[in-house]
A and B are shown apart, each in its own frame.
Chain A
Amino acid sequence: MLAFTLRRAIQAIGVMIAVGVIAFSMFRFAGDPVNQIVSLDTPAAEREAVRKSLGLDDPVPVQFARYFGNAVQFKFGVSYQFRQPVSNLLMERMPATLELAACATVLAMVFGILMGVYSALRRDTILTKFFQAVSLIGISLPTFLIGILLIYLFSVTLGWLPSFGRGDVVRIGWWTTGLLTLSGLKALIMPSITLGLFQMTLIMRLVRAEMLEVLRTDYIRFARARGLTTRAIHFGHALKNTLVPVITVAGLQFGSVIAFAIITETVFQWPGMGLLFVQAVQNVDIPIMAAYLLMVSLIFVTINLVVDILYTIVDPRLRSTISRPA
């Protein structure tokens, strides 16, 4: 078990170093950083001075070591567009993205599980057909179209909900939250639905498939024979056993929720990391792009590692397959 954890941790560090190399090469080789900082008519001597002050004339391995050393301390250089340290910009934007991603995930889990259980238990009702149609739409409609549709319905036509921004936020330390004000909560509704719809579809399909499988097993038949109530069988026994894979998938998907927030944040002008990243791509602001890549990779790799380790703790059957040489 310890060996497995160690091996997975080393693998995770390897991935992070690989991503670091990519981020560094973007930072260093995709366009000359000096050109981005100085103006067009800066004399060559001054350019050299800037180059020297940034340490760009050092050997590449030295530069990489320095970039990596700084990145570990969350120093990612200065943004070309904002002339501010990238880490400040990211920290300022992170609460918005994490709050949105968390709300979307909770929404997706609650409705995904409810819809999945219902459509597994009542297979041929109209409501089940409706849920399946919703899930087909959730997979086929691009995220931004869903966002636009919601804005047209609830902002333009009905005027119920705001179409952009976070509303009023409350500052708690360095964290800003929109969960404590009415306008903040109202602003959160449509972006969360837009972002969560795809995950909800995924979870609904998974729960349905798992439930159908579990309901056929012997221990469910045995529970029926014991005369337990249908409610106890469905929710106490069947649902409980479907939840392990569901929580795993939802956990693993949290990383891609953060990545897909790029689209949702653009549609709703949500002031998060994703919007910052899109603006960076449009304006070729490499330091922000590289830093975003590193941050998101760190979140991804950490989640993967934690889920893998938790999974083996929860499900002892997996340990025998892990110890087998790959």
Chain B
Amino acid sequence: MSDAVVPHRVEPNAAAARSGTSWLKRALDSDIFYSFRRSRMTMVAAAITVLFFLLAIFASQLSVQNPFDPAQLQLMNSRISPLWTADGQSPFLLGTDEQGRDVFSAILYGLRISLVVGVLGVILAGTLGITLGLIAGYVGGAVDGLIMRIADVQLTFPAILIALLVNGVAKSVLGNRLDAMSTLAVLVVAIGLSFWVQYARTVRGSVMVEKSKDYVAAAQLIGLPAPKIMLRHVLPNTMGPILVIATINLALAIITEATLSFLGAGMPDTMPSLGTLIRIGNNYLFAGEWWIVAFPGIALAGLILSINLLGDWLRDALNPKLR
């Protein structure tokens, strides 16, 4: 027990001398890691999430073909059922679709796109929300009123509706025929603009509490500029809840991207995300080719479920009331 608290009492220069190991030691001794080890479900969810990220990162090494490259697709290989069924053919583990695209490879590349859009969307929403929340909470007055009124109005509308509108307007301004990379950017912006409110409200709430504390008054007294006080002193004290929101929002962002792509307002068929793959596969469901839609669907559901479980655990672990 006493060993666990020692790193907090170490002399500053001694801590710096072995900062590498003590950082790890502190992480392993922390309450959060303890609660992580206690929950088997969370460990499984974390393992699956990490696995999905690894699959996405090493997609080009693990797949048998590049599904975005039409030259590598052969119509001869279209509509092959999964390997373990009677008509299965190597190397197509999970079968192929209409265009002869290997479903397993398409899932890996699609996973990569879904995760990139999700992570970038969360980063954009977080940056936007944190900035506006800090300004609203710290400055107060009319600025606060304006930002929070916009947030209130936006909160009454579901994110998917806002994302669809942003998407439609962007297409109208930039022209209907966008290339895949611009579509990806539009999706990130649509998700960012749909999810910033929650961060802004949380940060504003925490800032209002922190602002009246002595350390902020001290920082103001020694003449630090407001942006520095906000970023270096107030923000770190609001990070706990933000981390929880970001985790749960990652799942929501991935669902939103998949939904937009499924509705035909997201990634194009030439560069499919998981949602696009499900939309394509849905067309072959009645022909009995269930594998084209089933495996991307399972991948998407598994990814969202494990991220959600992680988010739930993180929320409870960081909530001091539940300890």
Contact = CB atoms under 8 A, between A and B. Distances in A.
A156 interface: yes
A310 B186 CA distance: 41
B285 A152 contact: yes
Interface stretch (B29-37, B63-71, B75-83, B298-306): B298-306
Contact of B278 (A18, A30, A139, A145): A145
A15 B301 contact: no
B135 interface: no
Interface of B is mostly: helix
Contacts of B164: 262, 277-278, 281
A79 B171 CA distance: 17
A26 B297 contact: no
A300 B259 contact: no
Contacts of A283: 176
A282 B173 contact: no
A30 B227 CA distance: 35
A259 B157 contact: yes
Given A148-B282, A152-B290, A263-B259, A284 B168 contact: yes
B158 A260 contact: yes
B156 A255 contact: yes
B174 to A, nearest CB: 10
Given A148-B285, A263-B263, A284-B176, A142 B300 contact: yes
Nearest to A29: B173
Given A148-B282, A156-B285, A282-B264, A262 B160 contact: yes
A312 B171 CA distance: 44
A301 B164 CA distance: 20
B297 A148 contact: yes
A15 B151 CA distance: 12
Interface in B149-166: 153, 156-158, 160-161, 164-165
A162 B127 CA distance: 46
Interface in B4-54: none
B255 interface: yes
Contacts of A18: 153
B297 A145 contact: yes
Contacts of B262: 142, 144, 263, 266
Contacts of A266: 262-263
A297 B162 CA distance: 12
A13 to B, nearest CB: 13
A281 B153 contact: no
B156 A144 contact: no
B161 A259 contact: yes
Which of A140, A163, A284, A293 has most chain B Cβ within 10 Å? A140
Contacts of B156: 15, 255, 300-301, 304
Nearest to A278: B263
B167 interface: yes
B172 interface: yes
A7 B288 CA distance: 58
A244 B146 CA distance: 32
Contacts of A142: 255, 258-259, 262, 300-301, 304
A296 B161 contact: yes
A266 to B, nearest CB: 6
A246 B285 CA distance: 38
Interface string B276-305: 001000100110101001000100110011
A26 B170 CA distance: 10
A140 B259 contact: no
Given A30-B173, A156-B286, A144 B278 contact: yes
Contact of A145 (B288, B290, B300): B300
B231 interface: no
Contacts of A54: none
A256 interface: yes
A97 B279 CA distance: 22
A306 B47 CA distance: 47
B90 to A, nearest CB: 27
B301 A30 contact: no
Contacts of B300: 142, 145
Contacts of A87: none
Interface string A277-291: 110111110100100
Given A267-B282, A284-B168, 14 more contacts: A18-B153, A19-B153, A26-B172, A31-B173, A136-B305, A142-B301, A144-B262, A148-B278, A152-B285, A163-B286, A282-B264, A284-B172, A289-B169, A293-B165
Interface of A: 15, 18-19, 26, 30-31, 136, 139-145, 148-149, 151-152, 156, 163, 255-256, 259-260, 262-263, 266-267, 277-278, 280-284, 286, 289, 293, 296-297, 300-301, 304
22 contacts: A15-B153, A15-B156, A18-B153, A31-B173, A140-B304, A140-B308, A142-B300, A142-B304, A143-B259, A144-B258, A144-B278, A145-B300, A156-B286, A256-B158, A259-B160, A262-B160, A278-B265, A280-B168, A281-B171, A283-B176, A289-B168, A301-B156
Closest 4 CB pairs of A and B: A281-B168, A30-B172, A31-B172, A140-B305
